[in-house]
Chains A and B, each alone.
Chain A
Amino acid sequence: ETGVTQSPTHLIKTRGQQVTLRCSSQSGHNTVSWYQQALGQGPQFIFQYYREEENGRGNFPPRFSGLQFPNYSSELNVNALELDDSALYLCASSYSGTSAHNEQFFGPGTRLTVL
């Protein structure tokens, strides 16, 4: 098991609602990335936060937004939920330094169902 935790485990929302997902990074890590994994697909990059600033974004609309806090924990917020937002949302933490390609450590994910 990694030291990355996510909450809640499962969530059911209806179309148009808003949702906040939470992630606690592994100790010593300063970077958090969020991924969306639709059923039968590989994870798709949403965005990354480094030192509380967004540090890269994938092909997701602005209604997907995030935050990183001073303790490096993070939130993913999704507004105006659509049916296609139903997926497993994965948080990954890593250490971004001046050298090395440090692997990302993933949390167990939050399963979001939009009805």
Chain B
Amino acid sequence: AQSVAQPEDQVNVAEGNPLTVKCTYSVSGNPYLFWYVQYPNRGLQFLLKYITGDNLVKGSYGFEAEFNKSQTSFHLKKPSALVSDSALYFCAVRDLRNTPLVFGKGTRLSVIA
């Protein structure tokens, strides 16, 4: 069975500094990995996905994520954080096409001006 771990409940970063939100996963086959963001009173918004190919995936709003197969990680990164990036971030995995996503518990990112 698939699983996702987001080891940090909260990440605090100063505006303009780089940010990293960590995610590790476990699947039996090839991993298909996703990041979503959730703003207050809103649904989840897709940021980026890794299916195959280049290990560095670029997504919306300047976010990127690095797939590391040996460490079974898919950390979300951004070179320069904005206050508006403050939100709840979820990592998700599936092991087959069109199967349900398995989500982590989420990491709350707080960017301080």
Smallest CB-CB separation from A55: which chain B residue?
B98
The answer to whether B100 touches A56 (Cβ under 8 A) is yes
Majority SS at the chain A contact face: loop
In the complex, whether A103 has a CB less than 8 A from a CB of chain B is yes
Number of chain A residues close to chain B: CB under 8 A: 31
- The residue in B41, B45, B100, B106 that gathers the most chain A C-beta atoms within 10 A of its C-beta is B100
Give the contacting residue for A107; candidates B43, B94, B98, B100; CB below 8 A: B43
Assuming the contacts A58-B100, A103-B34, asked whether A42 and B105 have C-beta atoms less than 8 A apart, the reply is yes
* Chain B 92-110 residues near chain A, CB threshold 8 A: 92, 94, 97-106
Chain B residues with CB under 8 A of A92: 44
Q: Does A106 contact B (CB under 8 A)?
A: yes
State A109–B38 Cα separation when bound (angstroms): 11
Interface residues of A in 56-90 (CB under 8 A from B): 56, 58, 90
The 9 closest A-B pairs by CB, nearest first: A42-B103, A106-B43, A45-B100, A106-B44, A96-B98, A108-B43, A103-B46, A101-B32, A42-B105
